[in-house]
Structure 1
Amino acid sequence: MEDQNMDDGDQNRETEIAPAQIAVHPSQESVSVAVGSDLRVFNLREGLPVKLSDDGHSDSIRAIRYAANGKLFVSAGDDKLVKIWATDSWRCVYNVASEKRVSAVAISNDGLFVCFADKFGVVYVVDTRAFTEETPTSIIKKGVPILSHYCSIITSLEFSPDGRFIITADRDSKIRVTVFPQNSLNGAHEIQSFCLGHTEFVSCLAFVCNQEYPQGFLVSGSGDSTVRLWDFSSGSLLDTCDVGAEAAFADRKEEEGLLPITDLCTVQDGSLVAVAIQSLTGIMLLGCDLSKRNLSVVKVVSIAEETYIPTSIGSASTAELLWMVMGASSLNISDIKSLVRIRVLSGFSKCNAASVETLVLEDKDTPGGEQMLQTLQGKLSVEKEAFSSAAEAVKNSMRNLLIKKQYSAERRDFRKRGRNDIKNKAK
């Protein structure tokens, strides 16, 4: 029976729930939300919705990202397309085809390279210097493979602050630090280090840095309910913060098993790390003391309304706000196809992290106000039960995607005989 259920899950991947994603322009000029195949953008500077000049995606979007200078935006997902947008016109300047579904994207800090990873663990690179205003978007290019995790889903992808390294995390609890090559066409063959210590899948990565430590340190979140601080150049584990117990206590409820970390975001000049945790109605703030190389729980910010469990968080480097989105696609809830709810936290001024005072903004006080919410959320009023269903759907989808399926020996042999690559070799 167990094998039968697993096969059913494999056959129904097209109905897999995709959690909503949020990304904020570095100067908070715009904010973008992806839910299902729908990409929604609002221009905060002009106070207007953005009309995209391309048809967008045909399947669930799994990753969105602004470049550090804000000039480029990348979206990618299950339709095996990576779309690179120019944010001044929101024109899709490049369409890149992936052989498999895309799970993560990253843009180098100088904006010269876009990297993306597929669900077979291969990382590709695209040189943005090939773009011109005359480049036809109808021509679909391919990326150049530079490294691989060998059939392990890559869950997160980041460039180091100085651009020397590309960091990849996967479903098998590994974090790999690779020297990014000067000639990307030759591949990335030099491994700097491995950051090993997580006992479950690594779900997200972020960098913490400040003026004293411009190179920064790496923080990672995992399915093992921990956030870890690393010296990524040497692979040394500096500190581990077990946030699962703290999150369960904050919500005054018993949870079975571990609470996976769903997203990380650094705020307040790297002295704070915001953490989204599965089943936590709100976010947790961790203090990060780079001089002492440690992490500590500062506070849990609860969202009083609904069952609000963020699926993605983000912030602008020049603003003192934290943006959160809760949502999921393909929900069978009355007339709701894709549920999205945005909340914004203020109070992240450059002060003592231990005394930070956060405030959940009312809808009318958020940047862009209700027009922004109408654009990015769609439906403003949603029943509480819909949020509970969304949280449960995202939890199950994350578990199905990142926790390895177990098969009997007989079932494994049967699946091997049905593999397409083996069939093709036999012909």
Structure 2
Amino acid sequence: MLHPIQSTVMSRDGSVVFCIIKNMIQVFQWDSTKSEFLAIGQWHDDQDKTSTIQKTVLEEQKRQRAENEAKRRKLDKEEAVPAETDKSSSKLKDAKVPIPGTGAPPVYNHIRNLALSRNENLLFACADSDKALVIFELDYKKENCLVLKKRQPLPKRPNALTSTTDDKHVLVADKFGDVYAVDAHSSEVVNATNGGLEPILGHVSLLTAVAIISDADGKQLLVTADRDEHIRITHYPQTYIVDKWLFGSKQFISTLCVPEWGTNLLFSAGGDTFVSAWNWQTGELIDKLDIGELVEPYLGEAQLAPSKFQDESNSVVEYAVSKLVTFSTLTFVAFFVEQTKALFICKVDPLVGNLTLVQTIEMSLNIVSLSSALSADTLMVTLDHSEAEDGQLVSYVTWDGSEFSVDGKRNISFHNYIIDNLVDNPIANTEADDIYPLYNVGSLRKRAEN
């Protein structure tokens, strides 16, 4: 079976789609004259984790030997006793690559997320194999439009990214709570293990989302959200200056959305039972859209809390908003709850920021990811067809001037083309047991056991 598409990013006009399938990026372009898709690029991460782990082990061995030698010399000096040479300790041994024991969770060598630069000349990806940021130049004149520019390893696994307003730097947030600024145009790779790459700011919790905003004077501010319900706004590049905190969330934040049509607005959501609308300039929580009743018809066993946190009736449910997106000029926000079939679309009053649900579109399968073609007023939803091999891979949703509707023609075209294009691809075709865990947001929830 074809592996479900984990995530997508679309160009502003919707003509180009970048898809993640396992550890591979596939690029497709919509030919409007022929009303069909064309494959224009691909790249797969063939990084061998063994060499990376081996290098880490060797460095740690070297550090430990130096530390032990320093301790031995200190003791010898204090005791004024000549040190005996330990030939066995000075002999350098080959590093042993750790092998997970029985019952250990599987280790996935997959691409985590994608982002386009603001001028759409660069594509950024986070690779799990060596915890790296991968930067591509996009050259649509070449047979393969993805031109690898740089692969920058990071100290910890990258989890979210964005670019500065001038596209000079990529801002990468990791699972350790740190944010790094990586030069987007230089091909030089900085050593990440000896202080060559220093974080520009840090949280005390896993970072889940980052965004760049600009004030009235054009100065940039960095918005960071974490697992501990914090949203922080920091001056950039003077990241030692915290502008403000946005308080009001009760659970982890999984997604941030900054609309182009509302320069003072910011939307956030995650493990709460509501979607938040903020005036980030004043720090005010403008509106909270309660989604409890909206999502209830679409909840199932997947949303039941673990047994140890259940009540006697086994009715405690837990759900989380996975993604929020918006458009360039349309004053709407779309979102979905993880492991459900419903896409919710809200109208926003750009003057006051209030959210009003106007449409609910039910898909045929659970939604995996959501992306927006900002200027084309189009949404792309990827679907989990792992238990329905003949099911849809994606669903396009477009604005027709009065409402959003599913674009059946484009859906069929994309589905048929990608199936035909990847039918013999050994990476895209997989067994059900080898499917990447498609639902990771709910695991961010903290309970008493954490």
Relative to the length of structure 1, the TM-score reads: 0.73
The 3-state SS of whatever aligns with 2:171 is strand
Counterpart Cα distance in 1 of 2:123 and 2:222 = 18
Q: 1:26 to 1:219 in 2, by over 3 A?
A: same
Report the AA paired with residue 199 of structure 2: P
Between the two proteins, the alignment pairs up a number of residues equal to 354
Does residue 219 (structure 1) correspond to residue 219 (structure 2)? The answer is: no
The residue aligned with 1:232 is: 280
TM-fit CA distance, 1:68: 1.9
Aligned equivalents of 1:145, 1:285: Cα separation in 2: 37
Tell me which residue corresponds to 2:322: 262
Alpha carbons 1:24, 1:32 under 8 Å: kept = yes
Deviation at 1:327, TM superposition (A): 4.3
| Structure 2 counterpart of 1:345, one-letter code | V
Report the Cα offset of residue 399 of structure 1: 3.1
User: What does residue 333 of structure 2 align with?
Assistant: 273
Q: Do residues 371 (structure 1) and 427 (structure 2) align? A: no
Stretches of structure 2 lacking an aligned partner (at least 5 in a row)? 49-108, 140-144, 305-315, 426-431
Residue type of the alignment partner of 2:166: D
Judge which range, 103-112 or 58-67, deviates more: 58-67
Structure 1: stretches of 5+ with no match in the other structure: 1-16, 182-186, 380-385, 409-427
- In the alignment, is the contact (CA less than 8 A) between 1:313 and 1:325 conserved in 2? yes
Call closer, same or farther: CA 1:200–1:371 in 2, change over 3 Å.
same
Inter-partner Cα distance in structure 2 for 1:35 and 1:146 = 31
Q: Distance in 1 between matches of 2:330 and 2:269?
A: 16
Q: Given the alignment, which residue of 166, 174, 191 partners 1:118?
A: 174
Q: CA deviation at 1:118?
A: 0.9
Counterpart in 1 of 2:380?
Answer: 323
> Which residue of the partner structure matches residue 403 of structure 1?
445
Instruction: Give, as a single letter, the amino acid of the residue that structure 2 aligns with 1:230.
Output: W
Contact 1:324–1:342 (Cα < 8 Å) also in 2: yes
The residue number in structure 1 matching 2:101 is none
| Aligned residue in 2 for 1:358 | 405
Cα displacement (A) at 1:371 = 1.6
Q: Report if aligned partners of 1:177, 1:233 keep a CA contact under 8 Å in 2.
A: no
* Aligned equivalents of 2:259, 2:183: Cα separation in 1: 26
CA separation in 1, counterparts of 2:369 and 2:409? 19
Shift of 1:147: 0.4
The CA distance in 1 between the partners of 2:268 and 2:281, in whole Å, is: 14
Query: How many angstroms apart in 1 are the aligned matches of 2:376 and 2:423?
Result: 22
Secondary structure at the aligned position of 1:224 is classed as coil
1:145 aligned counterpart, secondary structure: coil
Structure 2 letter corresponding to 1:158:
A
AA aligned to 2:278 is W
Query: What SS does the aligned partner of 2:199 have?
Result: strand
Question: 1:209 aligns to what SS in structure 2?
Answer: coil
Which of 283, 302, 314 is the matching residue for 2:343? 283
d(CA) in 1 for partners of 2:151, 2:329 = 34
Take 2:199 and 2:383, find their aligned partners in 1: how far apart are those partners? 33
Report the more deviating stretch, 159-168 or 111-120.
159-168
Q: CA deviation at 1:60?
A: 2.1
Query: How far 1:398 sits from its partner (Å)?
Result: 3.0
Measure the CA separation in 1 of the matches of 2:442 and 2:435. 14
**One of 107, 113, 116 as aligned partner of 1:63:** 113
CA radius of gyration, larger in? 2
For the 8 Å contact 1:273–1:286, the answer to whether it is kept is yes
**Cα gap change, 1:40/1:176 in structure 2, threshold over 3 Å: closer, same or farther?**
same
Deviates more, 1:241-250 or 1:40-49: 40-49
Partner letter of residue 38 of structure 2?
Answer: L
Structure 2 CA distance for aligned equivalents of residues 285 and 265 of structure 1: 10
2:120 is paired with a residue whose SS is coil
Q: CA deviation at 1:317?
A: 2.0
Partner Cα separation in structure 1 for residue 422 and residue 257 of structure 2: 25
Q: Is the counterpart of residue 178 in structure 1 residue 240 in structure 2?
A: no
Deviation at 1:128, TM superposition (A): 2.2
Kept after mapping to 2: 8 A contact 1:40/1:375: no
Partner in structure 2 of residue 193 of structure 1: 244
User: How far 1:311 sits from its partner (Å)?
Assistant: 2.1
Alpha-carbon distance in structure 2 between the residues aligned to 1:327 and 1:231: 35
Change (3 A) 1:147 1:270: farther
- Structure 1 residue corresponding to 2:395, chosen from 343, 347, 350: 343
- Measured after TM superposition, the shift of residue 52 of structure 1 is 3.7
For 1:266 and 1:203, locate their aligned partners in 2 and report how far apart those are by CA, in whole Å: 16
What does residue 159 of structure 2 align with?
103
Report if aligned partners of 1:94, 1:140 keep a CA contact under 8 Å in 2: no
Q: Would you say the 8 A contact 2:25–2:43 is kept in 1?
A: no
Task: Give the fraction of aligned pairs with identical amino acids, expressed as a percent.
Answer: 22
Distance apart, 1:404 and its partner CA: 3.2
CA gap of 1:324–1:239, structure 2 versus 1, over 3 A, is same
Return the match for 1:50 from 27, 36, 40. 40
Q: CA deviation at 1:37?
A: 1.8
Residue aligning to 2:126: 76
Task: Report the equivalent of 1:203.
Answer: 254
Q: Is the contact made by 1:276 and 1:311 (CA closer than 8 Å) also made in structure 2? A: no
Q: Which stretch has the larger CA shift, 93-102 or 32-41? A: 32-41
Cα pair 1:81 1:98 within 8 Å, conserved: yes
Distance 1:357 1:63, change over 3 A: closer
Equivalence for 2:360? 300
Residue in 1 that maps onto 2:292 = 244
Report the AA paired with residue 189 of structure 1: Y
Establish whether residue 312 from structure 1 lines up as the match of residue 359 from structure 2.
no
Structure 1 residue 250, shift from structure 2 partner: 5.8
Q: Which residue of 2 aligns with 1:32?
A: 18
Deviation at 1:57, TM superposition (A): 5.9
CA distance in 2, matches of 1:205, 1:171: 13
